[in-house]
C-alpha cells in the first residue's frame, strides 16, 4: 500500500474507534487555507477536531511527538477557519489519535489523547 492508502486506512481505524465510544463524525478531511483536519466529530455539545497519526514503529519518538507546536498552530488555524466557514459557535477540543504497530507487526496500538492541546 502507498502512504495515501495507509493514511486513509488509519483514519478509518480512528473513526471506528471514536464512533465506538459514542462520538458522531460530521466531517472527514476538511481542507482549509492552513491545512487539513482528519476528522471532525461531535461529543455531545462539543466539536472535536481529531488529528490521526500513524507510525510503523516508535523510532524517533513515535506518532505522538509528530504533533509538534508548528502542527498544533496549523490545526488551530484550520479549525478557526472551519468554525467561521460553517458559522459555528460551540465548545471545541483537539484530540490526537496515535496508531502504532505492535512489536510483531500483528496488531495496532491505538492511543486516544483527548484535549491534547488547547487554544
- Give me the CATH number covering residue 13: 3.40.1350.10
DSSP category for residue 61:
G
Separation CA 48–CA 54 (nearest Å): 19
**Residue 103 structural domain:** 3-117
| Model pLDDT, residue 4 | 84
| Model pLDDT, residue 114 | 96
pLDDT interval class at 119 (50, 70, 90) = low
18 close to 97: Cβ distance less than 8 angstroms: yes
Instruction: Give pLDDT tens digits for 37-95.
Output: 999 999 999 999 999 998 775 655 566 667 789 999 999 999 999 999 999 999 999 99
Domain count, the chain: 1
Residues of 25-61 as b/e, b for ≥16 C-beta within 10 angstroms? Answer: beeeebebeebebbbbbebeeebbbbbbbbbeeeeee
Residue 106 pLDDT > 80, yes or no? no
Instruction: Give pLDDT tens digits for 22-35.
Output: 999 999 999 999 99
Separation CA 20–CA 97 (nearest Å): 14
Amino acid at each position: 500500500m502507498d502512504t495515501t492508502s495507509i493514511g486513509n486506512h488509519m483514519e478509518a481505524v480512528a473513526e471506528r474507534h471514536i464512533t465506538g465510544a459514542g462520538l458522531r463524525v460530521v466531517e472527514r478531511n476538511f481542507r482549509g487555507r492552513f491545512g487539513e483536519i482528519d476528522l471532525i466529530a461531535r461529543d455531545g455539545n462539543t466539536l472535536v477536531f481529531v488529528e490521526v497519526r500513524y507510525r510503523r514503529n516508535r523510532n524517533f519518538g513515535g506518532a505522538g511527538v509528530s504533533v509538534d507546536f508548528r502542527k498544533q498552530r496549523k490545526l488551530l488555524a484550520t479549525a478557526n477557519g472551519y468554525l467561521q466557514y460553517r458559522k459555528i459557535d460551540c465548545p471545541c477540543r483537539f484530540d490526537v489519535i496515535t496508531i502504532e504497530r505492535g512489536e510483531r507487526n500483528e496488531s495496532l496500538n491505538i492511543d486516544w489523547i483527548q484535549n491534547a492541546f488547547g487554544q
